[in-house]
Amino acid sequence: MATQLGDQGAPGQELGGGGVGAPLAAIYAGGRAGRPGSKGEERAAYLFLAPWIAGFVFFLLIPLGWAVWLSMTDEQLLRPGQFIGLENYARAFTDDPSFYKALQVTLTWIVIAVPLFLISGLAVALLLNQKMPGMGFFRTVLYVPAVLSGVAIAVLWFTLLNSDLGAVNQFLRGIGIEDPPNWFQDPDFALWGVAIMGMWGVGTNAIIYLAGLQNIPPDLYEAAGMDGAGAWQKFRHITLPLLSPTMFFLFIGELTAALVIIGPVIVISGAGGAAGPADSLLFYMLLLYRRGFVEGQMGYAAALAWILTVIGLALVWLTFKLERRFVFYQA
């Protein structure tokens, strides 16, 4: 064998001086025949990245920079403004009583909505994870509301929750509740009415939970069953830890959605920026909309937007700091 290889000479020589022999010889010799140079590769990479870079600059960096500048002016909707420094930010914290009310309503909404939507989505996903005939149909039906318009859903539920003629209160009267809630006329029930609206879209969370549930190895449940673990123990020590990355992902999504909720409230309150009885529905985004597009104070609205951005970043940062304590990743 050694003699045969020695007789063949250098690789590529037996193929002659032309054809494929020369490129093969160059490759064996450590050459770069047939490959573009590094500068050509870089130019091609930048060429393909150019549309993304242009979009990033023109649709993100420049608008962000303009928003920072706008927040430091007294610009009106129909009148150019002058630079006033940090006066808009000072006004929010010292001279706008609605600012703190909006923060209170929004934070209360976060406390109500985020756990409610996460827990209900998990409960539905556990039901959908059962092996029963026709389960695929139920999964599809449950997800259908997620593709509908949020405004259309708000209009639907605003009608269903009408205190006099709504189907929900008619049902409550039918089962013996003589004085059902005035959902959007009573400040004690207004937020809960919006929460019921939000429950309509719980199928999205359920489908994501379902994907996480089906990714848990079944042999873990089998081993736990052989050790005498019951359903609750399996859920507590297997399902919840292994589903925690999915819950963390959904938590971040629900948190950011709760901070910027506005669509259902505009439907309930109207385009004039009303905020329900006793300002019980004065979400932060509704205040921003009222100041910017109803009252025309665009500079002040930009400052409110940046304050909300900082609050959101702080909450997300805190969530990620606590991730190690509550999120467990499967090895």
pLDDT at 29 (0 to 100): 47
Is residue 327 within 8 A of residue 245, CB to CB? The reply is yes
Single pTM value for the model: 0.80
Is residue 114 within 8 A of residue 254, CB to CB? The reply is yes
Tokens for 201? Answer: 């879209």
* Total residues found in the chain within this entry: 331
pLDDT at 271 (0 to 100): 58
pLDDT at 10 (0 to 100): 44
pLDDT at 33 (0 to 100): 44
Instruction: pLDDT tens for the chain, 331 residues: list them.
Output: 444 444 444 444 444 444 444 554 444 444 444 455 578 888 888 899 999 999 999 999 999 999 999 999 999 888 888 999 999 999 999 999 899 999 999 999 999 999 999 999 999 999 888 887 877 787 888 878 777 777 888 888 888 888 888 898 899 898 888 888 888 888 888 889 899 888 888 888 999 999 999 999 889 898 988 888 888 999 998 999 999 999 999 999 999 999 999 888 888 776 556 677 778 889 999 999 999 988 999 999 999 999 999 999 999 999 999 888 888 887 6
Is residue 274 within 8 A of residue 268, CB to CB? The reply is no
Whole-angstrom Cα distance, residue 331 to residue 328?
Answer: 9
Whole-angstrom Cα distance, residue 159 to residue 165?
Answer: 8
Is residue 277 within 8 A of residue 181, CB to CB? The reply is no
Is residue 111 within 8 A of residue 195, CB to CB? The reply is no
pLDDT at 72 (0 to 100): 95
Write down all domains in the chain, each with its CATH number in brackets.
98-326 (1.10.3720.10)
